[in-house]
Structure 1
Amino acid sequence: MTAVQAPYARIAAELRGRIERGELLPGDRVPSTRAITQRWGVAMATASKVLALLGQEGLVRAVPGVGTVVAARPAAGGPGRRPAAEDDTAQRTRIIRAAVALADAEGLAALTMRRLGAELGVSAMSLYRHVSNKEQLVVLMADAAFGEEALPERPPAGWRERLELSAALQWRLYRTHPWLAGAMNLSRPLLIPNGIRHIDWALAALDGLGLDADTRMHAAVTLFGYVRGHAVDLEPETDATRTSGVTGQEWMHAQETRLAALVDSGAFPAFAAARTGSALSPESLLHHGLTTLLDGLATRITTPPH
C-alpha cells in the first residue's frame, strides 16, 4: 500500500524539482506563503512548513525586504541534490544556450540581461550570480559557438588542406551565428579557448616548412582575421532581411537598372568590361581571397612538406 505524502512535502518536492532543473535560479524568488496557500489551496501553517523544509535543505533563504529566494549555493547531500558546483555549471550552460539562441534569432543588440531573464522566466538579477555582465556573457557565448565545430583529431595531410578546412569551419560558424564575427576583435581578442584552437591548428599546420615563428603566427592570425572580416557583414545583412523582408539577392536585383545606367555611362570602362560574366557572392569572394592568401604563403615556404 503506497503511503500518502503530506501536502507540505508534496509541494516542497515540486518546488525542489524546479530548482534542480534550473527553472528557478539562485536569487529568484520562490512562492511566498500567501502564494502557496492561493495556488495549492492549503493553510498558512502548511505553506510555512514548505518553506521551512526547503530552508533546512539549504535550497532557499529569506532575504529581508525581498522574500524567500533560491539559495546561491544550495547545500549538497539533501534529498536528490547534486553537488552545488554541478548545479552552477548546468545553470550557466542553460544561460549561455538561451543567450546564443536569442542572438541568433534577433541579433546581439537584442540581447540584454533583462530580456534574457524574461526568456528564461527568471529575474535579470539572478543571472549575475553566474555571469558578471553582458561582456562576460558574450565571451562565453563566443567560446560555446566555436566549440560547436570541432577540428578533427586526424587532420588532412597537407598544410594547405588543413588551413582550408579551418577556414571552412569558421565560415560555417559565422553563417550559423551571424552575430559572432562582430563579437570578435583582433585588436582586443576575446582569448576564448575554442577560438585559440583554430590558431593553434594553423600554427601546427605550418610547422616544419621553413617559416620562422613570427611568420607562422602572423599567417595563422591573418587567416583567422580574413575569414572573420568577410563574415562581419552577415549580421547587418541578416538584420536587413529580417526588418525589410528583402533578401540581399533581391536587393541587388532591384539595383540592376541603376547599375546598368552607371555602366552604360562610359565613366567606368574597366568595371564595365570586368562585370561581364562575373558573378559575385559572399562565398565566391571568400574563396577567391583565401586562394590568393594561401598562394602567397606558399611562396614563402622553403622546406617542402614531407
Structure 2
Amino acid sequence: MAHFTPPYARIAAELRRRIADGELAPGDRVPSTRQLAREWHVALATATKALAALRQDGLVEARPRVGTVVAPRRRSHAPAAGRPTDGPGRELSRERIVRAAIGIADTEGLAALSMRSVAARLGAATMAAYRYVNSKDELVLLMADTVLGELRLPLRPDDPATDPATGPAAGPATGPAEDWRARLELGARALWQLHRAHPWLAQIGPLTRPLLLPNLLAYSEWMLRALDGNGLPPATALNLNVLLYSHIQGLAIQRERETAAESSTGLTEDAWMAQQQETLAALTASGAYPTFTRLIDALGDDGYDLHLDELFEIGLASVLDSVDRLIDRRP
C-alpha cells in the first residue's frame, strides 16, 4: 500500500527544498498562506499548517510588517556528552531557553511557541530543553514572570519611580493618599508599554484564575498601595486594580491576535484592510447601516484608523475619573 503524505506535509517539503537549494535565501519572504492555498489548491488552514511546521523547524520566522521570511542559517554543532549546547561554549540554561521562547512569542505569537521551536532556535535537541523546563505551560509562566520583572516601579512611596516607556520620573513618588491618581497612571502606563512589547503576555491566564507570579504580585502591590489609605472598602480597591489590569489586558489581546494573524496569513493589517474595501463599500451602500455609514463618510478620504494607544488613553482616563468619584463619596 502506498504511503499517504498529507497535503500540508507535501507543501512543507517543497518549501524546505527551495530553502535548501537556495531558491529562497535567508530574509526572503516565503509565499503567504493565501498564495500557497492558490498554488496547491488547498484550504487556508492546510497552508497555515505547512508554514507552522517550518516555523517549528526553525526554517522560517515572522517579522512584523514584513511577513514570514526564511530564517538566518544556523550552524549545527554536536554537543559534548551530557552537556546540551547550541554552539561551542554556549551551554543551554533555563534563562537562555526562556529568552529564546520570549523572542518567538514576541514575533510570531504564543500559538507558534513550542518546546520544539525553542530548541530549534537554540540549535539544540528538543529533549535537551526538557532538562531545564518540564513543559510548555511551565515555560510560559517563566516567560511571563521574566518580562513582568522588566517593570521598574518602586515598592516604597519614597523610592524614585521609573517608567519603562519614559525613563526615571521627575521626582520621588508621593504617598498613596497624596497622589493616588499619578501613581495609578504610572503603573497602568508601565504595564501597557510592557504589553506593547510582549503582546502574548495578555494570554497567560483568565482574570478568574489569577497567576501567583512574584513579579505580577509586585505590580499589584504598587497599584494597591496607590488605592490604600483613601477610605475605599478592601473589595473595591481589589476590584479597581483588576479593572485597570483587565483594560490593559483586553487591548493587548488584540495586539497578540494581530501578530498571530499576520504570521499565519502573511498579510499586514493595512494589506488585510485593503482586501476588505469592496465588502465595506457594498455594506455602506446597502442603506442598512445609516449611522455607521454617516460616521465613516464624515471622515473623508482619511478614513477611520483604529489605534489601540488611543483606546488605552480613553479607557484609562475613564477608569481614573470613576475612582476619583468613588473617593469623593467616601464617608
What is the CA deviation profile of residues 5-62 of structure 1, one whole-angstrom value per residue up to 9, with x for unaligned ones?
xxxxxxxxxxxxxxxxxxxxxxx963xxxxxxxxxxxxxxxxxxxxxxxxxxxxxxxx
What is the CA deviation profile of residues 230-261 of structure 1, one whole-angstrom value per residue up to 9, with x for unaligned ones?
11121221122234343223433443443344
Equivalent residue number for residue 289 of structure 1 = 315
Aligned ranges 1:89-104 → 2 under 5 Å:
91-104=93-106
Tell me, yes or no, if structure 1 residue 161 matches structure 2 residue 167.
no
Please point out which of 236, 241, 245 is paired with 1:224: 245
Please tell me the residue identity of whatever aligns with 1:165.
L
Equivalent residue number for residue 328 of structure 2 = 302
Aligned ranges 1:156-235 → 2 under 5 Å:
156-157=173-174, 158-235=179-256
SS of 1:179's partner is: helix
Equivalent residue number for residue 262 of structure 1 = 283
Distance 2:160 2:205 in 1: 27
Give the count of matched residue pairs: 224
SS of 1:69's partner is: coil
Unaligned runs of 5+ in 1: 1-27, 31-67, 72-87
Displacement, 1:206?
A: 0.9
Please point out which of 105, 118, 132 is paired with 1:130: 132
Identity of aligned residues (%): 42
Distance 1:280 1:29 in 2: 49
Residues 211 and 302 in structure 1, CA contact (< 8 A), matched pair in contact too: no
Distance 1:118 1:246 in 2: 25
- CA gap 1:245/1:132 in 2 versus in 1, 3 angstroms: closer
Equivalent residue number for residue 42 of structure 1 = none
What is the TM-score normalised by the length of structure 2? 0.60
Residues 138 and 183 in structure 1, CA contact (< 8 A), matched pair in contact too: yes
RMSD: 2.8
Displacement, 1:262?
A: 2.6
Structure with bigger RCO (C-alpha 8 Å, 6+ apart): 2
What is the TM-score normalised by the length of structure 1? 0.64
Residues 174 and 231 in structure 1, CA contact (< 8 A), matched pair in contact too: yes
Residues 92 and 130 in structure 1, CA contact (< 8 A), matched pair in contact too: yes
- CA gap 1:161/1:272 in 2 versus in 1, 3 angstroms: farther
Equivalent residue number for residue 6 of structure 1 = none
Displacement, 1:134?
A: 1.2
Residues 209 and 303 in structure 1, CA contact (< 8 A), matched pair in contact too: no
What is the CA deviation profile of residues 118-148 of structure 1, one whole-angstrom value per residue up to 9, with x for unaligned ones?
3223332232332221111110000111112
Please tell me the residue identity of whatever aligns with 2:319.
L
